[in-house]
Amino acid sequence: MRVRLLILLLGLFMLSGCGVALVAGGATAGYKVATDPRSVGTQTDDAALTAKVKLALLKDPVTKARKIDVDTVNGVVTLTGMVETEAERRRAEEVARKVAGVRAVRNNLMVGHRSFGRSLDDKLLTARIKAKLIAEPGIRSLSIDVDTVNGVVTLTGVVKSEEQRRRVLEIVRTTKGVKRVVDNLTVEP
């Protein structure tokens, strides 16, 4: 547990050293693959699908994909972030659904504007949540993606059991600054 927290803290404080960040990033990615309950093949398929959806959003003249986060678990794509209009929100979902291999789309995009200060608050809140999850014994924190927009936290990923899912949700809901939690967690079969 302390080792995982140490790795996180080192990664956060050494982002200015590209070589160190690259090595730590590679180690983290390897750890994530090893601890993710999905098969390596499924993880690879999901990563490829995420890339295809991001590319499709970038190519689309309506969406502003730079503000859209895309996560994929078992072929289910989750869109999070902030867009300027409802039309852009709908279009992003439409574009994602058309990508071959996408089983379903969870559209958690919010319409509006996020100030720089709010964006920074969201990043700090995400970091606090990730640190709490890493410190929690028995939780595969790297199998859980945490996205925060205007205090609304979206959780996407795979957990071992319903009990673990409840624990993750409790940790996130009780974190100061969280307005609402969107639960896109999947319990592994």
**Which CATH number belongs to the domain containing residue 183 in this structure?**
3.30.1340
Shared-domain flag, residues 49 and 105: yes
Claim to verify: residue 28 and residue 46 sit in the same structural domain: no
CB 188 within 8 A of CB 37: yes
User: How far is it, in rounded angstroms, from Cα 82 to Cα 101?
Assistant: 25
- Tally of structural domains, the chain: 3
Taking residues 32-44, report their average pLDDT: 69
pLDDT digits over 59-111, tens only?
999 886 678 999 999 999 999 988 989 999 999 999 999 999 999 999 999 99
| Domain coverage including residue 143 | 115-189
Q: By three-state DSSP, how is residue 41 classified?
A: helix
CATH number, domain containing residue 84:
3.30.1340.30
The residues with which 73 forms a beta bridge, in sequence order, are: 76
- Report if pTM > 0.85: no
Instruction: Write down which residue in 111, 142, 164 finishes a domain.
Output: 111
- Say whether both 44 and 98 belong to one domain: yes
Measured CA to CA, the distance from residue 1 to residue 152 in angstroms comes to 27
Domain boundary among 69, 87, 111: 111
Whether residue 8 is found in the same domain as residue 57: no
